[in-house]
Amino acid sequence: MNPDVYEMVPIEVGSLVWWSGYGILAAVIMALFWLAPRESEPKMAKWEKTLGWMILANLAWYTLMALWDGVYRADESLPIHMCGMSQILLFLHLVLKKKWAFPIVVFWGPLGGIQAFLTPALETEPTLGYVLQFYLAHASVVVVPVYLMVYGGRRIPRKSFWRVIGITNLVGFVMMGVNSALGSNYMYVNQPPPVDHPLVQGAWPYYLIGIEAAVIGLFWLFLLAFRKFREPKLD
């Protein structure tokens, strides 16, 4: 592959590769919800660290593959899309025990990861290694935060909704500057993503209004769906 003519490669919806991604997602769900330990089990703490290192190792796997193939680029390959940052946040929370990381990743991971499953696009040609790494990465950010709520005792802080909305917008503004410097499009804030998506309509900056509305709406629906896992109200 010639990096000078490299572009993102969308995965055709309904193709074998597209469906295989849902098979990987189902396998991760079964592994975590049927086989992984629960909060009350003594091995839970060790398992969380192992899970965090596995997530980081999968992220490093992509980096090593891309460097070996000569397609790793600062304007394409850094882990600063929402799902890449979600993997880092999971590592910080699971291994380094950073509690502040969970309220962010519990919104970013599932909702960003689901979008990647609906309209996937790779930064390389869809070879087996890259496809497997892509879907494992996005399955982890979708499923692990939910697993941590259901079986890991994590709770969504009461005031996290608008706080995470604010953080998301702040990071988006920062990414605009990063993208201008690198000639990149991280978080798709400088131009629309290279896939057809009903939530992305119009040219810059108008499509960002739809994305903003979608983010708020989807975060709110997620909070409603998992309201039983919110922190209890203080008396």
The one-digit pLDDT tens for each residue of the chain (235 residues) are 333 434 678 888 889 999 999 999 999 999 999 999 999 999 999 999 999 999 999 999 999 999 999 999 999 899 999 999 999 999 999 999 999 999 999 999 999 999 889 888 888 888 999 999 999 999 999 999 999 999 999 999 999 999 999 999 999 999 999 999 999 999 989 988 766 666 667 778 888 998 899 899 999 999 999 999 999 876 5
- pTM for this model (two decimals): 0.91
pLDDT of 234 = 67
pLDDT of 196 = 63
How far is it, in rounded angstroms, from Cα 207 to Cα 217?
A: 15
Report which secondary-structure segment, H or E, holds 9.
strand 9-10
Q: Residues, the chain, total?
A: 235
Domain ranges of the chain: 8-229
